[in-house]
Amino acid sequence: MHLQPLVPPAEPTVRRSRRRLIAFVAAVTFIAQPLTPPVAMFGALHAQSLAPRGQSLPDLGDESQAMLSPVQERKLGESVVRQIRASGGYMNDPEVNDYLQELGHRLVAAMPEGGQEFEFFAVPDPAINAFALPGGYVGVNTGLILLAQSESELASVLAHEISHVTQHHMTRMLAGQQRSLLMSLAALAVAIAAARSSPQAASAAVTGAQALGIQNQLNFTREHEYEADRVGFQRLDAAGFDVTAPATFMARLQRASRFADGNTPSYLRTHPITYERIAEAQSRAQGKPYRQIPDSLDFQLVRALLRSYNGSAQEAVAVFENALKERKFNNEIAARYGLVASLLRATDYKRAKSEMAALEKMAPPHPMIDAMAGHVFLDAGDVNLAIDRFGSALTRYPNKMQLVYDYPEALLAAKRPKDAVVFLERELVRFPDDGRLHQTAAKAYAELGSQMQQHRHQAEFYAWQGDLRGAVTQLELASKATDGDFYQASVVETRLRTLRKELQDQQKTAATRNG
């Protein structure tokens, strides 16, 4: 969960052109074009993390090469994800991301494909969209998670996106067009970065990217959509979900687009592709026996958590209070969980405690419940109770990232930076690329006064966010610090050389592209 202010309220003012670009870069969006503007994506921005223009892409070598290797695809996807992170378009909510990862990997495992890696993450954006990037990165907007009325509906979207990856739609599309795709990815990065300071600059970048052959891309997409629907259906079935969900969800999408105000693309209302796709999805499901698939508690809890972020804290509290009073909910545990989350947002710790107690009486053992209970303690200032709760939950659920992040935060709140460092160093062995762990480690080392380690971890956090220049600056500070041992100093030097080289490569790529 993410109890700091998270998603600024959406303002429906983004131009359609930007929407198209997102659709294009995603290339394989679920519905070809998002229904509403991806505004929140441009919302929660962090000044220090802006990667300067032209630093967004790795050097992929010979651009005339027909196909990207899996390693190159992964590199490309990773660089786009970094840009998304730098722009605030990556939801830093481990509960939501963990859930998407579990659901996504359940679908992946149902029909294993040779070694393709996947990473699923949430995008804090009320627009209804999901997309796949090169390298197996799949982003799902929070708007889509909230629109899905069953776990199978959400799974049907993930299965569709996974299929774009496993069917190599990206690679097939890249063949012969790599350069223009790279240009457009670069333009997206610039557009996201520019959006915060100047809407005009952003739309200029977008127009440029559109001119780079978006029409061709969309022609490809139609054929790919059908294939992704077909293969996605098999995957959904193999993973044991409700096979009527794809048709139900597509119809729901259509209705949602009809009722969305002014911004609805007429494309989606009138384009026959959607009706055909629904009809095909229905006929596929007809051949299968009916099965009732209950939603997991995780699905319900994640949706309640996302709802608790909507509107003001008071509004969120009222939504759950009313639902509980009128007993209008799908799942009472989730409604109570949402109420506690909203009360924490409203900093009403006294009520949060009593509602948490009520929730614990009815909830089964569950890591999200443990994490929420720990948070109630932490936010209310009962740091030692929080440490106990997070600590004991971690012994049962050592891979739950929310707990992995919260435990050292609680130790820091209790002024135990040494213990936090011991824990963090151990977890960083398991998750060496985890930006948030590096960020907390930087904080812990700062409290201990260990400058070299502080700057080193701050550098890794910036690199994870896509801010290579910031990362290099931090490593330079680390290399000047004199409080590290020989081993630590050589780690810093090696890393500094690597990141300087990466930064140079990107600047070279940018120069080639601009020249």
Question: Nearer Cβ to Zn ion, position 28 or 209?
Answer: 28
Question: Nearer Cβ to Zn ion, position 225 or 355?
Answer: 225
Question: Nearer Cβ to Zn ion, position 93 or 229?
Answer: 229
Strand ranges (DSSP E) for 33-162? 119-123, 130-133, 137-141
Question: Nearer Cβ to Zn ion, position 43 or 246?
Answer: 246
228 binds Zn ion (CB under 5 A): yes
Question: What residues have CB less than 8 Å from 2, skipping those under 6 apart?
Answer: 91, 92, 93, 309
Select from 23-31, 116-124, 238-246, 486-494 the region that touches Zn ion (CB under 5 A).
23-31
Q: The tokens of 382 are what? A: 């009962």
Residue 91 contacts residue 148 (beta carbons within 8 Å): no
Using CB under 5 A as the binding rule, the residues of this chain from 367 to 426 that contact Zn ion are none
Select from 28-36, 211-219, 471-479, 498-506 the region that touches Zn ion (CB under 5 A).
28-36
- Nearest-approach distance from CB 225 to Zn ion, in angstroms: 5
- Nearest-approach distance from CB 130 to Zn ion, in angstroms: 8
- Nearest-approach distance from CB 161 to Zn ion, in angstroms: 7
CA distances for 260 relative to 69, 263, 311, 375, 421, angstroms: 41, 7, 18, 36, 49
Select from 10-18, 220-228, 300-308, 393-401 the region that touches Zn ion (CB under 5 A).
220-228
Select from 21-29, 284-292, 354-362, 420-428 the region that touches Zn ion (CB under 5 A).
21-29
- Nearest-approach distance from CB 72 to Zn ion, in angstroms: 22
Question: Nearer Cβ to Zn ion, position 28 or 459?
Answer: 28
Using CB under 5 A as the binding rule, the residues of this chain from 53 to 92 that contact Zn ion are none
Instruction: Report the DSSP beta bridge partners of residue 141.
Output: 123
Q: The tokens of 489 are what? A: 């100093």
- Nearest-approach distance from CB 35 to Zn ion, in angstroms: 14
Q: How big is the site for Zn ion, counted in residues (CB under 5 A)?
A: 3
- Nearest-approach distance from CB 133 to Zn ion, in angstroms: 13
Quote the CA–CA distance of 351 and 38 in Å, as a whole number: 35
Quote the CA–CA distance of 326 and 163 in Å, as a whole number: 41
Question: Nearer Cβ to Zn ion, position 265 or 408?
Answer: 265
Question: Residue 33 in 3-state DSSP?
Answer: coil
Quote the CA–CA distance of 376 and 389 in Å, as a whole number: 10
Select from 67-75, 92-100, 117-125, 217-225 the region that touches Zn ion (CB under 5 A).
217-225
- Nearest-approach distance from CB 246 to Zn ion, in angstroms: 12
- Nearest-approach distance from CB 26 to Zn ion, in angstroms: 9
Question: Nearer Cβ to Zn ion, position 138 or 343?
Answer: 138
- Nearest-approach distance from CB 435 to Zn ion, in angstroms: 29
Pairing of strands 119-123, 130-133: unpaired
- Nearest-approach distance from CB 496 to Zn ion, in angstroms: 41
Look up residue 175 and give its DSSP letter: T
Residue 245 contacts residue 150 (beta carbons within 8 Å): yes
Q: The tokens of 501 are what? A: 């080289």
- Nearest-approach distance from CB 481 to Zn ion, in angstroms: 49
Quote the CA–CA distance of 371 and 367 in Å, as a whole number: 6
Look up residue 410 and give its DSSP letter: H
- Nearest-approach distance from CB 41 to Zn ion, in angstroms: 19
Select from 205-213, 223-231, 395-403, 451-459 the region that touches Zn ion (CB under 5 A).
223-231
Question: What residues have CB less than 8 Å from 210, skipping those under 6 apart?
Answer: 17, 20, 21, 24
28 binds Zn ion (CB under 5 A): yes
Question: Nearer Cβ to Zn ion, position 226 or 349?
Answer: 226
278 binds Zn ion (CB under 5 A): no
Pairing of strands 137-141, 130-133: antiparallel
> Whose structure tokens read 């998670």?
145
- Nearest-approach distance from CB 28 to Zn ion, in angstroms: 5
Using CB under 5 A as the binding rule, the residues of this chain from 147 to 186 that contact Zn ion are none
Angle between helices 272-286 and 245-259 (to 10 degrees): 150
Question: Nearer Cβ to Zn ion, position 32 or 444?
Answer: 32
Question: Nearer Cβ to Zn ion, position 29 or 87?
Answer: 29
Select from 59-67, 74-82, 219-227, 304-312 the region that touches Zn ion (CB under 5 A).
219-227
Question: Residue 118 in 3-state DSSP?
Answer: coil
Angle between helices 151-166 and 94-110 (to 10 degrees): 60
Instruction: Report the DSSP beta bridge partners of residue 130.
Output: 140
Length of the chain: 515
Look up residue 42 and give its DSSP letter: G
Select from 20-28, 61-69, 133-141, 256-264 the region that touches Zn ion (CB under 5 A).
20-28
The single-letter code of the amino acid at 26 is: A
Question: Nearer Cβ to Zn ion, position 28 or 334?
Answer: 28
Quote the CA–CA distance of 242 and 284 in Å, as a whole number: 12
Question: Nearer Cβ to Zn ion, position 245 or 510?
Answer: 245
Of 167, 160, 162, 130, which Cα lies nearest the Cα of 145?
130
Q: The tokens of 231 are what? A: 């293969």
Question: Nearer Cβ to Zn ion, position 125 or 225?
Answer: 225
Quote the CA–CA distance of 251 and 15 in Å, as a whole number: 25
- Interface positions with Zn ion (CB under 5 A): 28, 225, 228
